[in-house]
Amino acid sequence: MELKQYNLFFLYQETVALTKRLFIQLKRRPSTLLAGILQPIIWLFLFGALFSKAPEGFLPGVDSYGNFLGAGLIVFTAFSGALNSGLPLMFDREFGFLNRLLVAPLASRLSIVLSSFFYITILSFVQSIVIMIVSFVLGYGWPDFYGLGIVFTTLILLVLFVTSISLCLAFVLPGHIELIALIFVINLPLLFASTALAPVSFMPNWLGWLASLNPLTFAIEPIRIAYTQTMNLDVVALHAPYGDLTCKSCISILFSLTVFSLIIIRPLLNRKLN
């Protein structure tokens, strides 16, 4: 029992040290943080302006396109941050810094993964809150208290899901060039093949199917509901070609995907880290 308590404390000590290192890096090189905030804000301005003269009722249930777009950009910000979370680990692998961690008697090498999760979750939250504040200032609304809870729960699930995949890729791919290339290839197509920029009803049938199967959509739609109406988990959030999904269903699917991805990557992480 005493040994277990020690291990738990050691795990905490390691995880804090590893997370602190990532935040020191961020503080001294804040360009990632700033770019992650600036890009969605620019999109918010540009896309908001692009559809500013759209006829009323163009998008059902929302006052303006900006009101519709906010949810998509919040999710996109968290998604992009999480997708990049494998990069620091990849650089540590390539430059041999990971060996410094692996020769240390870590209570559990899970701390290496946990620190990435904490770092990216906090970073994504900070970026998302800034986007939410800018959206509010532009008059695109603010979720109620219950809605805020749904926004952050959804973001945590998405960040866990995408971070686990990114960390997995950081161990599987041979180098950072390949990882960046893959991020580059999947980042924007996943955004466009989701309901971030347009509802399913605007899309051709095949794209509607893709968007309705896209994990980003399952995160976007509950957040959109939180932005556009009083939060109710039983309200229909997505009119998918295969049927209507409520907020609860979207979050449940996202939860299942997250659990599934964590189970899937575990053997790989065990093999690479043990």
Partner 1 sequence: MNYIQITDLSKSYSDIQALKDLSMEINVGTLFGILGPNGAGKSTLIKILATLVEPDGGEVFVNNINLIKNPRKIRELIGYVAQDIALDKILTGRELLDFQSDLYHMNKKEKYERIQLLVNQLEMNDWIDRKCGTYSGGMKRRLDLAAGLLHLPKVLILDEPTVGLDIESRNIIWQLLKDLKNDGMTIILSSHYLDEIDKLADSLVIIDDGKVIAQGTPAQLKNKLGGDRITLKVREFSTYEESKKISEILSSINGISQIIINKAQGYSINFVVDKEKDLLTKLKVELAFSKFEIFSLAQSQPSLDDVYLQATGKTLLDAEISMTGKRDLKKESKQSMR
Q: Which residues bind to partner 1, rule: CB under 8 A?
A: 10, 13-14, 16-17, 20-21, 24-25, 28-29, 93-107, 171, 174, 272-273
**Which CB, 96 or 204, lies closer to partner 1?**
96
**Which CB, 108 or 187, lies closer to partner 1?**
108
Own/partner long-range contacts of 236-242 (Cβ < 8 Å, ≥24 apart): 238/195, 238/200, 238/212, 239/199, 239/200, 239/201, 240/200, 240/208, 240/212, 241/200, 241/205, 241/208, 241/209, 241/212, 242/209, 242/212
**Which CB, 173 or 183, lies closer to partner 1?**
173
The least CB distance from residue 160 to partner 1, in Å, is: 23
**Which CB, 17 or 38, lies closer to partner 1?**
17
**Which CB, 24 or 42, lies closer to partner 1?**
24
The least CB distance from residue 134 to partner 1, in Å, is: 29
The least CB distance from residue 273 to partner 1, in Å, is: 7
Q: DSSP per residue over 25-83, as a string? A: HHHH-THHHHHHHHHHHHHHHHHHHHTTTPPTTSSTT-SSHHHHHHHHHHHHHHHHHHH
The least CB distance from residue 253 to partner 1, in Å, is: 33
The least CB distance from residue 81 to partner 1, in Å, is: 19
Residue 7 corresponds to which amino acid? N
